[in-house]
Amino acid sequence: MQAADVILRSSDHISFRVHKSTMAISSPFFNDLFSLPQPHDGEVIDGLPVVQLSEDAEVLHSLFTLLYPIPSVIPDSYEQSLALLTASQKYNMDTVSSTVRCNIVLPTTEAAFHAYAIANSKQLIPEIETAARLTLDHPLTFEIIADALPLFEGSALHDLIHFRKRCRDNLLSFFVGFVDGNDSLSKAWNSCRRTKRPFSTLQSDKGIIAGWFRDLVSQHIKNLQETYTCSLPKSSSLRKEFTEALRAHISATQCSSCSNLYATEGEALRNQWLRRVSKARDKVRIFSPSWDRGFYIVCRNPSNLTRKHQTHPEI
């Protein structure tokens, strides 16, 4: 690079010739570093001081593409993307962190467990949260997570299990309330004339939701009560189940009330229900807000940091 005035060297010994001014503008850390007097016995190549960094060349290359007016290179792999994010956070490059976060490709498969473990090892709170939520779409068994197990550090797996249990409990509580007719949304679905009303509820104000809908939700209640390690129902799969169950009910019983309800406001009600399901599932956070906030405080003031992973730069 023309007029470069410093060499930043990667952990795998690749030298990048960059400009102190660019680094200083984008990073308070480098700003401080370059404002300090440089050691007299420091390594110099072609008259340029050399600064050894702990990141590998792939991460540094990506980092520099985000600092200079050249095409950005975001790593393909989730792991390397998180390494880039970690580096950008370490050097307090907020703009780079935002760009990386916007471009990270989230895993859609069981790789979510890998993603969670990696994010956890790098202590990237928003990524831990996102990946933990993605794992809920998959069963949590040793068979599924076997390959990711070596990546789990400290209490990561323990935390993930408790997170899943709390999500399950929340979802279960919503489903039970819905089936019992305690939820305001239940009342919209109590017009089915084919649903037998239990004698005990004849005098009560509770709505008795359509039998086909109750059966669908009850099945999920049963599954969730049996174990928390199964994948938690999500709105996309529930939408499909809902449609199939309703169709089967109408074709089997010629139920005009359910048919009319669905034709008029059924879709809106269904979507409302699905939103409530998502809300119940997503309400839980893997870390409590106080812990989260506390972590961010120590990240901003590394001198307060007492956790295992120090986030201040090591060069």
Q: Which two tokens stand for residue 208?
A: 């008795």
Tell me: does residue 158 bind other proteins (CB under 8 A).
yes
Tell the smallest beta-carbon distance from residue 135 to other proteins (Å): 12
Take residue 72 and report the two structure tokens written for it: 């950005």
Among the listed residues 33, 60, 96, 151, the single contact to other proteins using CB under 8 A: 151
Whole-number Å distance between alpha carbons of 220 and 164:
15
- Residue from the set 48, 73, 106, 161 that interacts with other proteins by CB under 8 A: 161
Nearer to other proteins, 84 or 148 (CB): 148
Binding mask 79-118 for other proteins (x = CB under 8 A): --------------------------------------x-
Stretch that binds other proteins, among 56-64, 89-97, 150-158, 207-215 (CB under 8 A): 150-158
By CB under 8 A, the count of residues binding other proteins is 19
Among 11, 54, 95, 227, binds other proteins (CB under 8 A): 227
Residue 140 touching other proteins (CB under 8 A): yes
* 178 binds other proteins per the rule CB under 8 A: no
Nearer to other proteins, 118 or 255 (CB): 118
Residue with smaller CB distance to other proteins, 87 or 157: 157
Can residue 137 be called a binding residue for other proteins (CB under 8 A)? Answer: no
Q: Which of 149, 248, 252, 268 binds other proteins (CB under 8 A)?
A: 149
Q: Which is nearer to other proteins, 46 or 143 (CB)?
A: 143
**Binding of other proteins at residue 229 (CB under 8 A)?**
yes
14, 25, 105, 146: which one binds other proteins (CB under 8 A): 146
* Chain positions contacting other proteins, by CB under 8 A: 117, 140-142, 146, 148-158, 161, 227, 229
